A and B are shown apart, each in its own frame.
Chain A
Amino acid sequence: MQFGLFKSIFNPSHDAAKPVNGFATEENPLLNVLAQLNVGSILATVRPFLAQLPDSFWMPSQASSKAAEVDTVFYVIYWISVFFFAIIVGLMALFIVRYRSRRQGERAPDSPNHSLALEITWTAIPVIISIAIFVLGFQSFMNIATPPRNSYEILVTGQKWQWFFEYPNGFVTSELHVPEDQPVKLTMTSEDVIHSLWIPAFRVKKDVVPGRYTRTWFEAQEPGTYPLLCTEYCGTGHSDMLSVVTVHKSGTFEQWLEESANIYDTIPPAEAGELLVQRSGCVQCHSLDGSPNIGPTFVDLYGYEQQLTDGRVVIADENYIRTSILEPMTDLVAGYEPVMPTYAGKLKDKEITYIISYLKSASDRGPSEEESAEAETEDPAAQDPDAASATEEE
């Protein structure tokens, strides 16, 4: 009927957003039935009015295809709530003023203490409103829960206290990069405890659970950089488990991915190492400015003696660093909690070598003066300008 017409206006060409196409609805007949209740038409009707509201007061910027829809549901509920709250508090205030008794012992005049009609009314109205809100929220949720088949898949790993995003070509970053105007599916799991990935600007959130895969999807619409946070409490560094998602303009994402994946081979090893410690999340716990954090600082680490918890004292040489990255529980430095996860399987041998080169350059017991001076002069030449702009966002 007319619902169908409205639906086509609401979802002009966006095949993917129809929940009936998704796996979940195919499996569950109940969801299928519910999905037939089309509220898209309601949303489409009210959206022009809601668009004029100062929505920036409540919600962050809208940067995904679903954000506007979620915000519409939010504001529908919001105005229903404001309306009922105004009635409740308004009547309450009115009655206090109108019927206030200032004399002790005053009696209220007789009035009915029961009215079936009234009670049915104020039960029925909330029931109807609740059903409407439920269906609104349900429809949008099914869209969020059901990734389109042509989605670009990125694998996400959460671990205390950093994120890893692995792209189809095997490249791994600690910040999420996605193309504009293309559905992106995140398949997520955790190495340790439960985390939860939240991108407020996209209005998506999903727990990242050890021992199973969870997924979510979105279609980014505004190029830019947006916060990405952990929102399931996971310990000491929970509030530092922050990252960003960078939305690349249409057509530039593939190029970025290719260049970034190859960048380590095109710049000096120490610089590649510095990039790696930032992109692999090392800096969440190891500072680059000399101050101790959850782990020891990277400044003046190489070549110095390390006091270990088991009483041994070792020099931080190449092999010590390699062991610490791959088997972090072997040589624990005294004064720090044993919380570092292993990087075995996450960093390639070559990348570990680059990181060692960086640690050398960050230590005054690293390479000789000449060597580092040489490396510095080589710098500008080796770096191509595009890659530099990509790295500066870190």
Chain B
Amino acid sequence: MSTGATTTVDHVDGHDHHEGNYLTAGRGLRSWLFTLDHKRIGVMYLGTILFAFLLGGIFALLVRTELLTPQQTIMSADDYNRMFTLHGAIMTFLFIIPGIPAALGNFILPLMLGAKDVALPRLNLASYHIYVIGSLMAVASILAGGVDTGWTFYTPYSTTTNGAVILVTLSVFVLGFSSIFTGINFIVTVHRMRPAGMGWFQMPLMLWALYATAIIQVLATPVLAITVLLIIAERALGIGIFDPALGGDPVLFQHFFWFYSHPAVYIMILPAMGVISELVAIFSRKPIFGYKAIAYSSIAIAVFSFLVWGHHMFVSGQSELAVVIFSALTFSVSIPSAVKVFNWLSTMYRGAIRLETPMVYALVFIFLFGIGGLTGLFLASLATDVHLHDSYFVVAHFHYTMMGGTMIAFLAGIYHWWPKMFGKMFSQKWGNIGAIVIFVGFNVTFFSQFVMGAKGMPRRYFNYPPEFEIYHVMSSIGSYVLAIGLFIAAGVLVHSLIAGKKAPVNPWGGATLEWQAASPPIHHNFDSPLLLTNPYDYTAQRWDEAEQGYVPVDPEKEPQTT
């Protein structure tokens, strides 16, 4: 483990120590593509993931545009089916699952531990390469005729339809390994590389969240791998596992699929909650309220996440007993989520709340995730789920949690750590404008979907009854506003790279260790000995006008100067 870390330091020794940072240490494409530096791998992940997000977003806009009228608008039914399949598959497997852990987590986790790198840098690089290969396979499936199964690949439709189903399920198989590698790496790193003095309960909550996420990634993803291999076996070799025409059971597929894919939504949301826990404390200038409760709730969510998959199958034909047990267990997952929200609010109570852009996104998160979480109650409850299942109500619910939750937290995290990643400050005014446009666009897009879903609009419909047109038009217009907001948010960051002011070491006054590294950090992260404090103690720092950032109160202990 430590060998890997040492190698990275040797690798660039020549470039180091003279005002070089990790971005300038080593030049040329090769120095990026084969780097073992967790920060560079994180940045490459970030770029690739954002590209996947753009692609998935374009598909989403095409889908929404098609739905502007009750009949055909811009594409055929078959093209529409391929569009929503690709939108779902790309957003899920290429964007949301790796989003926060692989991009932000890779960059932040070792820095938060005061370490030089992750424990297994080569595995880390392999994870990125595998991610790229898997993503290319997914994109190639578009050229190979597309896939029209929906991202859930339900059998026997997925084993009998035309299209590049084998290619896209293989890509899911490959992407799964990227996810497993990241998970193993984070578990080992958190166990083995905490600095002296940082016990489990001195860790930043982001690390608890990433750790809980990693456990799910390692334990659940292999089940998905097996499931997609079985689909491929059935399609390619005619082995009857799921298709009743071959002697299989289609409901078995749903059990396998959701055994992974329900924990997977916690792979998506847990790191988001970790980001929000950090941000709410820092921008309230106050220790996080109920540290242990938040830490334990992350683990509780990870454990409960394995026990609730059957709630995707209340009307599937599984036994009534199973349905009732899964409903009861599903409610258990709402408790730790609620606890987190109450802790965040209590952290804000009597704080000194700074409405910097990352905090604005964090507040947007609490609002949208609140709706996403509470609407989950309707779907966990059996009587109402029977009516709402597979309707737009469900579509709205998971977009509120996955997009309103995870994507917003991802943006919050990007804005928060941007100065650390690239050493540049962005325009807070435009950053906040972007957040507000996203907030408005998001609600117009998805709240209308709750209403039409409850009224009887099924999901995945190309044509729809005319009485739903008003809601669909509203939703589509909202999606354009949302897209404008996202372009503003991206523009702000791109502009900062070109014309942003130089970022101080600690622009927001964070007390976690990454804010003691230079902005951007040097290749091996830290030069001088670190000052380990409580990650939520903000009393040992003050605002420095000249620096335009926070500096330690006692200059004797100042770890480094610019």
B200 at the interface (CB under 8 A from A): no
Would B387 and A70 count as touching, CB distance under 8 A?
yes
> What's the nearest-Cβ distance from chain A to residue B162, in Å?
9
Would B161 and A200 count as touching, CB distance under 8 A?
no
> What's the nearest-Cβ distance from chain A to residue B390, in Å?
4
Measured between beta carbons, the chain A residues less than 8 angstroms from B550 are: 105
Report Cα–Cα, A122/B293, bound state, in Å: 11
Would A80 and B324 count as touching, CB distance under 8 A?
no
Measured between beta carbons, the chain A residues less than 8 angstroms from B335 are: 123, 126-127, 130
Would B156 and A194 count as touching, CB distance under 8 A?
yes
Report Cα–Cα, A85/B450, bound state, in Å: 16
From A107, A109, A194, B157 is in contact (CB under 8 Å) with A194
Measured between beta carbons, the chain B residues less than 8 angstroms from A99 are: 284, 348-353
Would A126 and B338 count as touching, CB distance under 8 A?
yes
Q: Which residue of B has the minimal Cβ distance to A213?
A: B317
Known contacts A108-B284, A134-B331; decide if A74 and B374 are in contact (CB<8 Å). Answer: no
Would B317 and A95 count as touching, CB distance under 8 A?
no
Measured between beta carbons, the chain B residues less than 8 angstroms from A106 are: 285, 352
Would A210 and B378 count as touching, CB distance under 8 A?
no
A81 at the interface (CB under 8 A from B): yes
> What's the nearest-Cβ distance from chain A to residue B554, in Å?
16
Q: Which residue of A has the minimal Cβ distance to B323?
A: A141
> What's the nearest-Cβ distance from chain A to residue B453, in Å?
10
Known contacts A141-B382, A209-B317; decide if A203 and B81 are in contact (CB<8 Å). Answer: no
Question: B165-173, B257-265, B365-373, B436-444: which lies at the A interface?
Answer: B365-373
Q: Which of B196-211 contact A (CB under 8 A)?
A: none
> What's the nearest-Cβ distance from chain A to residue B249, in Å?
7
Q: Which of A215-241 contact B (CB under 8 A)?
A: 227, 229-240
B321 at the interface (CB under 8 A from A): yes
Report Cα–Cα, A187/B460, bound state, in Å: 25
Measured between beta carbons, the chain B residues less than 8 angstroms from A49 are: none
B15 at the interface (CB under 8 A from A): no
Q: Count residues of chain B with CB under 8 A from any CB of chain A.
A: 95
From B321, B355, B375, A30 is in contact (CB under 8 Å) with B321
Q: Which of B311-349 contact A (CB under 8 A)?
A: 315-317, 320-321, 323-325, 327-328, 331-332, 334-335, 338-339, 341-343, 345-349
Measured between beta carbons, the chain A residues less than 8 angstroms from B354 are: 101, 104
Would A137 and B383 count as touching, CB distance under 8 A?
yes
B559 at the interface (CB under 8 A from A): no
Report Cα–Cα, A102/B509, bound state, in Å: 15
From B316, B454, B455, A209 is in contact (CB under 8 Å) with B316
Chain A CB within 10 A, most for which of B293, B459, B542: B293
Question: B40-48, B404-412, B462-470, B490-498: which lies at the A interface?
Answer: B462-470
Measured between beta carbons, the chain A residues less than 8 angstroms from B331 are: 130-131, 133-134
Q: Which residue of A has the minimal Cβ distance to B329?
A: A134
Q: Which of A12-28 contact B (CB under 8 A)?
A: 24, 27-28
Would A74 and B378 count as touching, CB distance under 8 A?
yes
Question: A86-94, A271-279, A366-374: which lies at the B interface?
Answer: A86-94
Would A240 and B463 count as touching, CB distance under 8 A?
yes
Would A144 and B383 count as touching, CB distance under 8 A?
yes
B483 at the interface (CB under 8 A from A): no
Report Cα–Cα, A206/B382, bound state, in Å: 13
B500 at the interface (CB under 8 A from A): no
Q: Mark B243-261, 1 if CB is under 8 A from A, else 0.
A: 0110011110000000000
> What's the nearest-Cβ distance from chain A to residue B331, in Å?
4
Measured between beta carbons, the chain A residues less than 8 angstroms from B327 are: 134, 137-138, 141
Known contacts A70-B386, A119-B290; decide if A101 and B352 are in contact (CB<8 Å). Answer: yes
Report Cα–Cα, A194/B160, bound state, in Å: 12
Q: Which residue of A has the minimal Cβ distance to B334?
A: A130
B499 at the interface (CB under 8 A from A): no
B399 at the interface (CB under 8 A from A): no
Report Cα–Cα, A69/B460, bound state, in Å: 28
Would A209 and B250 count as touching, CB distance under 8 A?
yes
Would B377 and A81 count as touching, CB distance under 8 A?
yes
> What's the nearest-Cβ distance from chain B to residue A271, in Å?
29
Measured between beta carbons, the chain A residues less than 8 angstroms from B317 are: 206-207, 209, 212, 214
Q: Which residue of B has the minimal Cβ distance to A215?
A: B317
B234 at the interface (CB under 8 A from A): no
B384 at the interface (CB under 8 A from A): yes
Measured between beta carbons, the chain B residues less than 8 angstroms from A237 are: 77
Measured between beta carbons, the chain B residues less than 8 angstroms from A60 are: 455-456
Known contacts A70-B386, A99-B352, A113-B287; decide if A81 and B375 are in contact (CB<8 Å). Answer: yes
Chain A CB within 10 A, most for which of B349, B385, B464: B349
Would A239 and B461 count as touching, CB distance under 8 A?
yes
Report Cα–Cα, A254/B385, bound state, in Å: 33
Measured between beta carbons, the chain A residues less than 8 angstroms from B286 are: 108, 111, 113
Would B156 and A122 count as touching, CB distance under 8 A?
no
Q: Which residue of A has the minimal Cβ distance to B381?
A: A137
Measured between beta carbons, the chain B residues less than 8 angstroms from A133 are: 331, 377, 380-381
Interface residues of A (CB under 8 A from B): 24, 27-28, 30-31, 34, 57-60, 69-70, 73-74, 77-78, 80-81, 84-85, 88-89, 91-92, 95-96, 99-101, 104-109, 111, 113-115, 118-119, 122-123, 126-127, 130-131, 133-134, 136-142, 144-145, 192-194, 196, 198, 200-201, 203-207, 209-212, 214, 227, 229-240, 242
Q: What 20 additional pairs, Cβ within 8 angstroms, besides A78-B378, A108-B350, A211-B249?
A: A31-B321, A60-B455, A70-B387, A74-B378, A74-B454, A91-B349, A95-B348, A104-B543, A107-B285, A126-B338, A130-B331, A133-B380, A145-B320, A205-B315, A205-B390, A206-B315, A230-B458, A231-B459, A232-B154, A238-B462
Some 6 contacts from A to B, beta carbons below 8 A apart, are A30-B321, A101-B354, A106-B285, A114-B291, A212-B251, A236-B77
Interface residues of B (CB under 8 A from A): 77-78, 81, 148, 150, 154, 156-157, 160-161, 244-245, 248-251, 284-293, 315-317, 320-321, 323-325, 327-328, 331-332, 334-335, 338-339, 341-343, 345-355, 363, 366-367, 370-371, 374-375, 377-378, 380-387, 389-391, 451, 454-456, 458-465, 509, 536, 538-539, 542-543, 550
Top 8 A-B pairs, shortest CB-CB distance: A211-B244, A105-B543, A137-B381, A200-B456, A140-B383, A141-B382, A101-B352, A239-B461
